[in-house]
Structure 1
Amino acid sequence: MTAELITAVIVDDHAAIAAGVRYWCEQADPPIALVDAGARLADIWTGPGAAADVVIIDLELVPGKPDFGELRGLVNSGRRVVVYSHHTDNATAIKCLDLGALAYLTKREGPEHLIPAIRAAARGMPYPAPPPSGADDAPSRPRLSPREVEVLRAWFASMSKELVAAKLHITVKTVDTHITRARVKYANVGRAARTKSDLVTRALDDGVITLTELNQAAL
């Protein structure tokens, strides 16, 4: 069976970046169809860009001014967004993830991360990118949202995600999304948490949950 063609639109004011991403997409197996919107934000919403599965956006289309508002608008409208930025600080990466970006990659990352990030985003899944390199102001503790903390605590105290969903009156898919976002945030500060045990360890280290609470949940 032939894999369904993924389409993406890239918004970046550097022609060389867009050309490189187009080449990577064309060489991918299977290839990804890329629409180059240049720096024209309007082209995300009209023409071929409006139907693209994934939006790849540079935060700084206006020099010196990261455009978090545009990212917020895209996410709120249901678009699946990968941020591809020259900003290497974790604070910016975490803010983008908090706003709903499915991946945050710096422009130091090549196709080995950008192509899988596009494929994951097309499925509506976050991509746990490597932590931005060169950041010297990166906090070791990720900024988990209150809902992410609530879901993690409920999951640590439960035998299954189905029980968490029933307790919090949300879907299992939503539970998975919050857990995955927490994993992404930990990965982005260099503290990967690929398993539930890893997440429990990180949560204990950061005071998200205490050992007493875990022991009580196990009774």
Structure 2
Amino acid sequence: MTAVLVDDHPVVVAGIRAWCGAAVPAVRLADAGPSVAVAWQEPGRSARVVIYDLLLGSFAPAYADLKRLVDDGRQVIVYTMRDDRDTALTCLDIGAFAYLTKAEGEEHLIAAIHAAAEDRPYTPPAMAGAFGTDTSSSRPRLSPRETDVLIHWFTCESKEMVADKLSLSVSTVNGYLDRVRIKYANAGRPAPTKATLVARAIQDGIVRIDDL
């Protein structure tokens, strides 16, 4: 398992490097640096998992860089001092694999890295808390990738077909669909079945009946 770390605090970099080396299975930290450039240049470019500090010498979250990484197909774990709900939800809407605060420590970060590398979902406490307190609307805010997976699933016979069309693994497809269900459940509109999800999507204008 290989990851790249984007963080501008030497103590944090040293700590995460030690955690990765002691993990079972071990995680090889390909590179680390204070700028997102480290994730685009070799050897960091080859690491699909990106551990990303959202605040790099600035008080403003670097959402644009996060989106570029997500759009490139990277599994981005946001690991930050920010613990507010709105920041977490924005990162998840952009398509971050997971959102952790630095207070959550070694156990959850390593578990998130393992899950990201293996294309299986993982929900750390900060991320679960953000979902659970998202009361802004009865219509969940789905990320572009979640919406894409959802629409393809409605028009395909199986999740295997969705995975093939979108160049994802089946476990990643399942992860996106699980997140969509969590968001609907937390909005007070549970959608435990495919038929219910279709109904919710039609109600929210995500798809039209003619598209199905």
Contact 1:10–1:37 under 8 Å retained in 2: yes
Q: Which shifted more, 46-55 or 177-186? A: 177-186
Contact 2:99–2:126 under 8 Å retained in 1: no
Contact 2:184–2:191 under 8 Å retained in 1: no
Cα separation, partners in 2 of 1:132 and 1:176, compared to 1, 3 Å: closer
After TM superposition, list the pairs within 5 Å mapping 1:18-57 onto structure 2.
18-57=13-52
Q: CA deviation at 1:189?
A: 10
The letter for the 1-side match of 2:15 is G
Contact 2:88–2:99 under 8 Å retained in 1: yes
- Structure number with the higher helix fraction is 2
The letter for the 2-side match of 1:79 is R
Q: Name the CA distance, whole Å, in 1 between partners of 2:125 and 2:183.
A: 6
Cα separation, partners in 2 of 1:68 and 1:189, compared to 1, 3 Å: farther
Identity of aligned residues (%): 41
Q: Name the CA distance, whole Å, in 1 between partners of 2:36 and 2:167.
A: 34
Q: CA deviation at 1:125?
A: 3.6
Q: Name the CA distance, whole Å, in 1 between partners of 2:118 and 2:109.
A: 15
Q: CA deviation at 1:186?
A: 6.3
Q: Name the CA distance, whole Å, in 1 between partners of 2:184 and 2:100.
A: 13
- 2:141 maps to which residue? 143
The DSSP-based 3-state class of the residue aligned with 1:108 is helix
- 1:72 maps to which residue? 67
The letter for the 1-side match of 2:28 is A
- 2:99 maps to which residue? 104
Q: Name the CA distance, whole Å, in 1 between partners of 2:101 and 2:180.
A: 15
The DSSP-based 3-state class of the residue aligned with 1:55 is strand
The letter for the 2-side match of 1:115 is I
Q: State TM-score, norm by structure 1.
A: 0.66
Q: CA deviation at 1:106?
A: 1.3
1:199 is aligned, of 189, 192, 197, to 192
- 2:112 maps to which residue? 117
Cα separation, partners in 2 of 1:183 and 1:120, compared to 1, 3 Å: same
Q: State TM-score, norm by structure 2.
A: 0.68
Cα separation, partners in 2 of 1:75 and 1:16, compared to 1, 3 Å: same
Gaps of 5+ in 1: 1-5, 192-196, 211-219
- 1:87 maps to which residue? 82
- 2:207 maps to which residue? none
Q: CA deviation at 1:69?
A: 0.8
Matched positions, count: 191
Q: CA deviation at 1:44?
A: 1.6
Cα separation, partners in 2 of 1:68 and 1:37, compared to 1, 3 Å: same
